[in-house]
Each structure stands twice: as C-alpha cells, then as structure tokens.
Amino acid sequence: MSIEKQHQKDHTLRDRFIFLIFSLILVELCLSGLINNTREGAFERKRQEVEQFFLSVPNRDKARNSSYEFSKKPHIPGSQRDVILAKRILQIFQTELGISPTEEVIFQAGSTESRNATLQLTAEDRIDQPTAWIDVYYPELDTPKQQSVQVLNQEGQITWTANLAEEGDPLDEDAYSSRNDVPTWHYYSADGEAEGQLVYVNYGTKQDFEALLSAGVNLTGKIALARYGEVYRGIKVENAQIFGAVGLLMFTDIRDDGYITAQNGYATYPHGPARNPSSVQRGSSHMLYVYPGDLSTPGYPAYQNSSRQEPSNVLSIPSIPISWKTARALIEESGLYNNSTSDKVVRVTNRVDRAPAPIWNTMASIPGRISDEVVVLGCHRDAWVLGAADPVSGTVSLMEAVRAFGALLRTGWKPLRTILFTSWDAEEVGLVGSTEFGEDFGEWLSRYAVAYLNVDISAAGPRWLIYGTPSLNDLIRRTAQDIPHPTREERTLWDARHDKGFENDCIDTQDSRPNSTGIQMLGLGSDHAVFLLRLGIAASDQMFKGVTEFDVPYHYHSIYDSHRWMQMYGDPGFHKHIAVAKHLGLMALRLADSLILPLNTSHGASALDDYLTSVETQFNTSTNFHGLRKSIHTLQTASAEFEREKKEAELNFHATLAGNSPSFSSRIFDSTSSELSYVLPYHPYSGWLSQFMGQTSFMVFEEEIRQSYIRIANANKKSMMFDRGFLSDEGLPERPWFKNLMVGPDREQGEAESMHRNGYEGAPFPALSEALQSGNNKRVEYETQRLRDLLEDLSVKLRS
C-alpha cells in the first residue's frame, strides 16, 4: 500500500470516527431533552405515584394482629396447626388478591393440578386473574419418641435424670402453655442410645477437637458436650463423630449473650430481658451442607409415591440440645467440673420415628402482562414452637406486602411481570418446602424466574442485615434508601444497618468494613438456598437482629420466641415488621414493573474480584491466579458493554415511542390527569404493552416500536441469565446438589445457623476453596479452569 493511500484511509477512518461521536452526542442530547420533558418524565411521575400508594398500605396494627394470630400456638411441620395456618394463608391470599374463596385448590404435588398451577403461569393460554393454591409434598419427617440425658453410677444405675423441657412462666402465657408441646430434640439426628464419659469440646469446631487431641484428651467412646455458636449444629455433630465420640449434647451458653445478662443485673425473661436459663435451642443437626430438602429424595421432588433413597446427609451419633441450666447441673452431677473428662458415665437417648408425611406450601400469583418473566418472593411458615420472630415476623411482613399488592390490584393496576408469593413449609427441619418446589419446578424456574426475594426472621432486634447476590446490590440499596427508618424520622432503612443497643438507643454510623457494599453474601441459611445455590437465580434475604455485645438475647427455636417477647423486646410497636414489608414489597414491585430489569451485571462481575482476593487472603496461597483474574476482567468488560446496551435500548424505546403517532402514545396514559384513581390503572408501560400485544395488525411505524421492545426483552433475558452463568452441571466436589461455583456453603462452618445467629457470610468460590484447603495442586488447577470456562462462556453470551 502506498503512503498516499494509507493517508487517505486514515482520513476516512478518522472522519467516520468523528461523525460517529458527533451522532452519538446529538442523539444523547435529543434523547435527554425528550425524556425530561415528555415521556419518561411522565413515566417517572406515574411510577412514583404507584410506589407511594403501595408504601401507604402496610400497617402496624394489622401486623400486630397477624403476629398474635400466627404465633398463638406451636406449628411444627406436619402438625394440625401447621395445616390450619397453611389454609389460613391461602384464605388471606384469596381475600387480598380478589380470588374466590375455596379450599378445592389443595393439590398433591406431582398431580396434573399441582403441575398446572405453576406451569400455567407462563403458558400461552394462562389465566389472566390472580390464583392461589397449596402443593402437598411428602418428605421424611421426625416424630420424637423419647429423649433423655442421664448420669449413671459405677454399677450402671441411674443417679440423675436431666429435665429437658423448657420451664415456662405464667407471665408469658403462650410460652407457658406450650412448654410441653414440642420436645427439645435435634431434627434428623440419629435414632439411638449412647453411653460414655463427658468431655467438654467448647464450640465443637475442628480446631476445638484438634486442640483437645493435642492436649492428650481422647474422644473415642466419649459423649461430647459442646456449646452453641460459631458453626452450624450439623458440623459439631460431624466433627464429634469423626473424632470418635459416640454422642453429643449441645447447650446454650449465656457467656455468649454479651451485656444483657443476669450477671449484669438484668432480670431473666419473662421478668426482664436476659435469657431464660431453661431455654433450649432446638434445630436440625444433619449435614444440610451436603444437600438440603427431603432426606430421601435428593435432587428430585418428594411426591407421595416418589422412590426413596437411603440418605447420605445424616450422621450416625445421636445429639440432643439442652439448656444452660441443665448443662450446669449435668457438669456437676457427672463430675466434669475440674477435669477434662467426667468421673461418671452419661447416657444419651434419642428415640425418633422417621417416615414420609405431608407438608403444605401455600402459593399465590398475580399474572403480569409479560408471559415469560416471574418474580418470586417468600417466607417459611412452619416454626419450631410459637416462632413469633422465626418465622412469624417474616410471614407477617410478607402478608403486609401482599396486602399492598392487593390494594394496587383494586385500583386496576396490573404488573408488567408475574409475581409469585410463597409460604413454605418445613424450613426449620432442612429448607424442605422450598427445596422440594425448586426440585419439582427447576426447569421452569431456570427459564422464567427473575429473582427470589426471601424473608425469614424479619424482626428480632435493632440492626438491619441485608444479604443478596451482587447483581441485586443496586436495587437493594436504592430501595432501602427510599424507605424510612423504622423509628428515626431523619434516617432511612439503609442507615439501620448500623443500629445497635438495648432499647434501640445507640446508632453507629461507622461502617466497619470500608470498601464494603454493605450487603452481605448469601449462604445456605434459609429458603433462598435452592434458588441461588442450585438454580443460579439472583436472591436476597433480610432481617432485623440484635448485636450480641449490646442487645437483648433472642430465644432462638425456644418457647420464649413468643408474641409477648416480640412486643417487649423484638420489635416494640411493630415498626420493623413494616419496614421489612415495605422493602421486600418495593423490591418486588420494581422487579415486576421496571421496563429494564433492575439487575446489574457489572456489580455481579466486579464482586468476583473481591471474592478472589478474599480466597487468596484466607488461604494465604502462593498460587498464581493471573488467568482467573483475566477471565474475571473479561467478564467485567463484557458486563460494562452490556449495561451500556441496556441503557441505550431503554432510551431507544422511549425515543421510538415519542417519535411515533401522538395518538398512539396518548393511549399509553393521560399524563395531564392528576387523579390517583384515574392514573393508577394505567401503568407506564403495561397499558401500552397490553394494547400492543392485543393488536393484530400494525401500522408500519408500530413495527419500529415492536423492534425497540424486542431489544429491551432480549436485554432482560440476558440479565436474568447472568447468575445462571455461574452454574456447573458437575456441581461442588462430593456435593453435586450444589451447582453454583461462585458461592456456596462452607463445609467447615455449614452456615445454616448463620442467618439466624452468627451472621456468617456464604463462602466465595466454594470448590476452589476446598481445593486450596486440600493442598492438592491438580485440584486447584482443575477448579481454576472450571471457573475460567464459566466466566469466558458467560462473557461470550453477554456479547452475543
């Protein structure tokens, strides 16, 4: 090529480039002008009106009444009260969403009726009205027969028998009257009897057991005595089993209660805020971190006639939970006080029957105008005993959000996307109801679910904790900044992330982690597990809880988690129930109604850098992750490009609308009207969309609009698929139920307790972390490559 020609070519390229930039600036200027003055400005006003109306509905008195009703009696999974509440929630869904009242919608999971109830939500001939129903699954449930802890003398005679029941006090009537209704036992613990000397093992972590071993304490044939905390129950039992113990007792240690203790002069509950010394934390104690859900049907739904497998996530030694008071007496009676091993032998008996039994998931839907995008939100309904905080507070928040959606519906509003409400059963025993649904409708959820928003405990203390997948960070934060603080006028819900202190009087505005987003990583702790960790669906969870050093101890899984405790200490005035209802509801509303899905792939991609850094720091590894970093950066670039495309697609859509027939645009809504009653039926986009979709013949200019909408729809599909991109069919090593390679449950901590008590975050890059821990370089290489392949694939998909 001659120099001259080269010059000419350079000129042409430069001119083209300048023209391109100029056009872009021009388009940008035109668009911003249009948007401010006309269409989008009006859309924005309309959106705000809809949201303000929505937020005006949740009500503290109604929340208090529901809390009282739902927490009056024990409602453990499979119980009479559990099915009564399942039907009660069905009735609320029907009343609030304008569905004709009937109980003829209780379906056996797996039946045609049950399959259709969910699948029809996205079918071509779907029902255009809200629906509600109950799916009945049959997981294995425990029936406790006999639990006892005894001390034996040299002759093997019983010298002392522990009182395992919580005492109760007539001052808290509900707790008192239910004190003998639900035995204190560990769900899915081994059926059996064990005898041995007692050894105190602190928290029962791996390090605790190793320390004992190196101090010369032999665990073989012993009964371990562990305190609650640090790690999930199942991890303690697994460790005890690995180190040779034959049984385990787990007690609540008031030394972990922080400042509000009897020792510091506070009366014990129900006479004051300190922990009742007879309170016991029940709970599941199997290997939930191997797989959650029904023990006998891993990876597939527990229908009544499903074939069953021998569970591979239960442990072989029995465990029993006891109170602080009982632990003290036991230590004394067995002669453990000044020794590492007790003088006397302790006998632990745990007799349970285990068989498939019915559980009830109550569901409801509001059909949207788009047929193939569904927003899911939910809370479990079953409780260990009364469960005023866990999960009644969450259920009450969810119901207040449902009422707000119902009120919107009555104004004629209709969401753009379908909304699915869920009231799960049997969460307490191993996330069963949600997991079975997720396994039953996995394919459907993968295709259509936009996000899953969870709530469990919504109120049990002053600090707002928020968990979520990074792609939801933006939505979570912005929404929290639009919700008032539950009790402080000048603040927002977002500020409540720092609150602490007895009686809510201390507000700390310092974020302890400077670069943090303020949103914690989700783990295995509640019903979001199947959505995020198996199906790759963006998810969130939130709660108000106490800060250990300052706040009133929460009687977790005890009879004292009662309405009275809630009114006095958990959430006096029910302000926090309402704040969560608003945040949960508004997030769902924004996910359902935004033209462009509020999922941010750039945030999703940039979080991976932090994940990798935290793995490197944790394992202090010399492994070079240069290649993996590069793949992360490739994804970040692709995400940034994609986020730009989303913005352009939206601008283009508005511009196309504005540029077309005014009569067509005016059919979208009448922006001159200020009457709420008139305005509300006309959703910014949905009014247009319904006409658009109902129309059989289009004028030529309408084809242009159609194309600009298709561009939006494509962008939304890619946003939805972003978190699916982290799934690997192969799953985690030895735990193939878990498919997500970006986040997962840590095998050392198990995490299930975390959501409720310790605040642990999920573990980033779980398979890679395990490989690093194993010290096997081949494994590390393999896991690094698996991650790289996923990230490179996802980058290509985002760019396609």
Residues that bind Zn ion (CB under 5 A): 390-391, 456
Upper half-sphere CA count for residue 388 (Cβ side, 13 Å)? 29
Compute the distance between CA of residue 476 and CA of residue 454 in angstroms, rounded to an integer.
Answer: 12
Encoding tokens for residue 743?
A: 């986040």
Compute the distance between CA of residue 384 and CA of residue 175 in angstroms, rounded to an integer.
Answer: 12
Residue number with CB closer to Zn ion (110 or 391): 391
- Compute the C-alpha angle 509/514/520, nearest 5°: 85
Encoding tokens for residue 762?
A: 């999920």
Q: Which of 146, 189, 445 is nearest to 295 (CA)?
A: 189
How many residues are listed for the chain in this entry? 800
270 cis-preceded (ω within 30 degrees of 0) = yes
Residue number with CB closer to Zn ion (86 or 798): 86
DSSP 135: E
Encoding tokens for residue 365?
A: 């839907």
CB of 383 to Zn ion, least distance (A): 8
DSSP string across 605-624: HHHHHHHHHHHHHHHT----
Residue number with CB closer to Zn ion (391 or 430): 391
CB of 423 to Zn ion, least distance (A): 12
Residue number with CB closer to Zn ion (70 or 266): 70
CB of 193 to Zn ion, least distance (A): 30
CB of 389 to Zn ion, least distance (A): 8
Contact 251, 322 (CB under 8 A): yes
The amino acid at 55: L
The amino acid at 54: F
Residue number with CB closer to Zn ion (456 or 482): 456
Contact 426, 603 (CB under 8 A): no
CB of 390 to Zn ion, least distance (A): 4
DSSP 425: S
CB of 528 to Zn ion, least distance (A): 12
Residue number with CB closer to Zn ion (74 or 391): 391
Residue number with CB closer to Zn ion (392 or 732): 392
Residue number with CB closer to Zn ion (317 or 460): 460
Contact 247, 221 (CB under 8 A): no
CB of 556 to Zn ion, least distance (A): 9
CB of 583 to Zn ion, least distance (A): 18
Encoding tokens for residue 502?
A: 């007895």
DSSP string across 421-447: EEEES--TTTSHHHHHHHHHSHHHHHH
Residue number with CB closer to Zn ion (421 or 502): 421
Q: Which of 32, 23, 37, 50 is nearest to 684 (CA)?
A: 50
Beta bridge partners of 199: 224, 341
CB of 772 to Zn ion, least distance (A): 32
Strands (E), 70-218: 106-108, 131-137, 140-152, 158-161, 186-187, 192-200
Residue number with CB closer to Zn ion (334 or 434): 434
What is the SS3 assignment for 765?
coil
CB of 581 to Zn ion, least distance (A): 17
CB of 470 to Zn ion, least distance (A): 24
CB of 472 to Zn ion, least distance (A): 21
Residue number with CB closer to Zn ion (365 or 397): 397
Residue number with CB closer to Zn ion (390 or 748): 390
Residue number with CB closer to Zn ion (40 or 382): 382
Question: Backbone phi, then psi, for 296, in 5-degree steps?
Answer: -95, -5
Cα–Cα distances (Å) from 551 to 274, 508, 573, 695, in that order, read 10, 14, 17, 59
Residue number with CB closer to Zn ion (391 or 486): 391
CB of 424 to Zn ion, least distance (A): 10
Residues 6+ apart with CB under 8 A from 706: 692, 698
Compute the distance between CA of residue 27 and CA of residue 21 in angstroms, rounded to an integer.
Answer: 10
Beta bridge partners of 763: 744
Residue with tokens 């039992």: 237
Upper half-sphere CA count for residue 514 (Cβ side, 13 Å)? 0
CB of 555 to Zn ion, least distance (A): 14
CB of 226 to Zn ion, least distance (A): 22
Residue number with CB closer to Zn ion (212 or 755): 755
Residues 6+ apart with CB under 8 A from 511: 497, 498, 518
Query: Which alpha helices (DSSP H) does 569-727 contain, by range?
Result: 575-593, 601-619, 626-659, 662-666, 676-679, 686-694, 700-722
Residue number with CB closer to Zn ion (757 or 788): 757
CB of 580 to Zn ion, least distance (A): 14
Greatest distance between any 2 Cα atoms in the chain? 109
CB of 392 to Zn ion, least distance (A): 10
Q: What is the distance of C-alpha 41 from the center of its chain?
A: 35
The amino acid at 128: D
Compute the distance between CA of residue 727 and CA of residue 741 in angstroms, rounded to an integer.
Answer: 6
Contact 539, 588 (CB under 8 A): no
The amino acid at 515: N
Residue number with CB closer to Zn ion (395 or 634): 395
- Compute the C-alpha angle 785/791/792, nearest 5°: 85
Compute the distance between CA of residue 572 and CA of residue 60 in angstroms, rounded to an integer.
Answer: 10
Torsion of CA 190, 195, 199, 202, to 10 degrees: 20
CB of 76 to Zn ion, least distance (A): 12
Encoding tokens for residue 472?
A: 């939801």
Residue number with CB closer to Zn ion (73 or 603): 73
